[in-house]
């Protein structure tokens, strides 16, 4: 694979994203002249945008709502991206688009940072979208015994569970889904707004279970703060964001980024250390 001529983040919206800040810090640290730019692309324009990026020999990330559409457009995908059914990291080689999903590795690393240990055996995930699918693949790769999905739209959760028959079960009752779990994950957007309801009431979370909120923003979510106040180890999605970005950088350039430079860029914008 050639070095990318251009690096982009395709999403809508993308203006809020922290990825340009920490990717550009890593690029500057490695003395790479290329810049990482966010591009707000409406779904109807994605095909034309990807055609242009292929011609330019670009690479980049895809975020909401484009991960499945970029997956469909790739000529080849890594085994992990195939298992998730979504691509968040792409590049061009031989005039064709290729894709990976580094949310899986990002989730794995975020869990390890939170628990200080291996993937817990029994995990509850609230939500059944793309982030939940990446978490299921990470759980599968790390030999978790059981993943329980609790969500408001059961059909979507059923479709996800069908792809992991030995691992994933759909629960309609939150109380049963949370019983004896060793990790609780929020994979819904709840918490993006400060007045959002909690994904699950903190009192329902088993006493020793760590809490990982995939939502991230400049500050931690209210749910993370409430869970920590109740004695749980708890983290938001900022670490996962950094880790998926570090894995994407390595995919594009073949060497790992300067993690210190990435962390400092995040600290400058959020005041937080990850
Ligand atoms: P998605 O594909 O749209 O799926 C969202 C899931 O949440 C769906 O199951 C949806 O259910 C459910 N949901 C949405 N609004 C809800 C509400 N008000 N109450 C209850 N459930 C609700 O989104 P995604 O890509 O999985 O992303 C989910 C979250 O994870 C986002 O906030 C995203 O920013 C975050 N994320 C973080 C990282 C990271 O690096 N930290 C990476 C990926 C994603 P329905 O089907 O019923 O709508």
Residue nearest to ligand 1 atom 27, measured at CA = 131
Residues of the chain with CATH 3.40.50.720: 104-236
Residue nearest to ligand 1 atom 47, measured at CA = 153
pLDDT confidence band for 33 (50 / 70 / 90): very high
What average pLDDT does this structure show over 121-134? 97
Question: What pLDDT, in 10s, does the model give residues 150-200?
Answer: 999 999 999 999 999 999 999 999 999 999 999 999 999 999 999 999 999
Instruction: Please provide the average confidence, as pLDDT, over all residues in the chain.
Output: 97
Distance CA 142, CA 150 (A): 21
pLDDT confidence band for 109 (50 / 70 / 90): very high
Distance CA 131, CA 84 (A): 9
Catalytic annotation, pick one of 67, 73, 232, 251: 67
- For a mutational test of ligand 1's pocket, the pick from 102, 127, 243, i.e. the residue with the most ligand atoms closer than 8 A to its C-beta, is 127
For residue 218, the model assigns a pLDDT of: 84
Which atom in ligand 1 lies closest to the alpha carbon of residue 188? 7
Question: What pLDDT, in 10s, does the model give residues 44-97?
Answer: 999 999 999 999 999 999 999 999 999 999 999 999 999 999 999 999 999 999
- For a mutational test of ligand 1's pocket, the pick from 152, 158, 199, i.e. the residue with the most ligand atoms closer than 8 A to its C-beta, is 152
% of the chain surpassing 90 pLDDT: 97
Question: What pLDDT, in 10s, does the model give residues 233-261?
Answer: 999 999 999 999 999 999 999 999 999 99
3-state secondary structure 27-75: HHHCCCCCCEEEEECCHHHHHHHHHHHHHHCCEEEECCCCHHHHHHHCC
pLDDT confidence band for 225 (50 / 70 / 90): very high
For residue 1, the model assigns a pLDDT of: 67
Q: What is the fold, at CATH topology level, of the domain defined by 7-101+242-270? A: Rossmann fold (3.40.50)
For residue 163, the model assigns a pLDDT of: 96
For residue 2, the model assigns a pLDDT of: 78
Q: How far is the CA of 131 from the centre of ligand 1 (A)?
A: 7
- The DSSP code sequence of 122-142 is EEEEE--SHHHHHHHHHHHHT
Nearest Cα neighbor of 183 from 273, 84, 107 is 107
The answer to whether 142 and 118 are in contact (CB under 8 A) is: yes
Q: How far is the CA of 179 from the centre of ligand 1 (A)?
A: 22
Task: Please list every protein residue whose CB sits less than 6 Å from any atom of ligand 1.
Answer: 64, 103, 106, 127-132, 151-153, 156, 187-190, 192, 214-216, 237, 240-241, 244
Spelled out in words, what is the top-level CATH class assigned to the domain 104-236? alpha beta
Q: How far is the CA of 134 from the centre of ligand 1 (A)?
A: 12
Q: How far is the CA of 210 from the centre of ligand 1 (A)?
A: 20
Q: Specify whether 263 is catalytic.
A: no
Q: How far is the CA of 95 from the centre of ligand 1 (A)?
A: 33
Instruction: Calculate the dihedral angle through the C-alpha atoms of 125, 217, 53, 264, rounding to the nearest 10 degrees.
Output: -120
């Amino acid at each position: 694979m050639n070095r990318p001529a251009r690096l982009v983040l395709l999403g809508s919206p993308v203006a809020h994203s922290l990825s340009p800040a920490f990717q550009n810090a890593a690029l500057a640290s490695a003395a790479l002249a290329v810049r990482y730019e966010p591009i707000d692309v409406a779904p109807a324009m994605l095909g034309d945008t990807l055609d242009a990026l292929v011609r330019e020999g670009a690479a980049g990330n895809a975020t909401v709502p484009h991960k499945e559409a970029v997956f469909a457009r790739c000529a080849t995908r890594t085994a992990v991206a195939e298992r998730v059914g979504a691509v968040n990291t792409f590049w061009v080689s031989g005039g064709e688009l290729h894709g990976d999903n580094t949310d899986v590795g990002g989730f794995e690393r975020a869990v390890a940072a939170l628990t200080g240990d291996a993937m817990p055996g029994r995990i509850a995930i609230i939500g059944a979208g793309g982030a939940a699918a990446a978490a299921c693949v990470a759980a599968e790769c790390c030999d978790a015994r059981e993943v329980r999905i609790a969500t408001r739209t059961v059909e979507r959760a059923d479709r996800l569970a069908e792809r992991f028959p030995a691992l994933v079960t759909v629960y309609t009752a939150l109380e049963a889904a949370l019983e004896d779990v060793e990790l609780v994950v929020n994979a819904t957007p709840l918490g993006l707004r400060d007045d959002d309801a909690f994904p699950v009431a903190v009192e329902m979370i088993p006493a020793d279970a760590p809490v990982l909120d995939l939502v991230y923003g400049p500050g931690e979510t209210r749910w993370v703060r409430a869970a920590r106040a109740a004695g749980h180890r708890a983290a938001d999605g900022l670490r996962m964001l950094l880790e998926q970005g570090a894995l994407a950088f390595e995919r594009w350039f073949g060497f790992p980024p300067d993690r210190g430079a990435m962390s400092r860029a995040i600290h400058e914008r959020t005041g937080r250390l990850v």
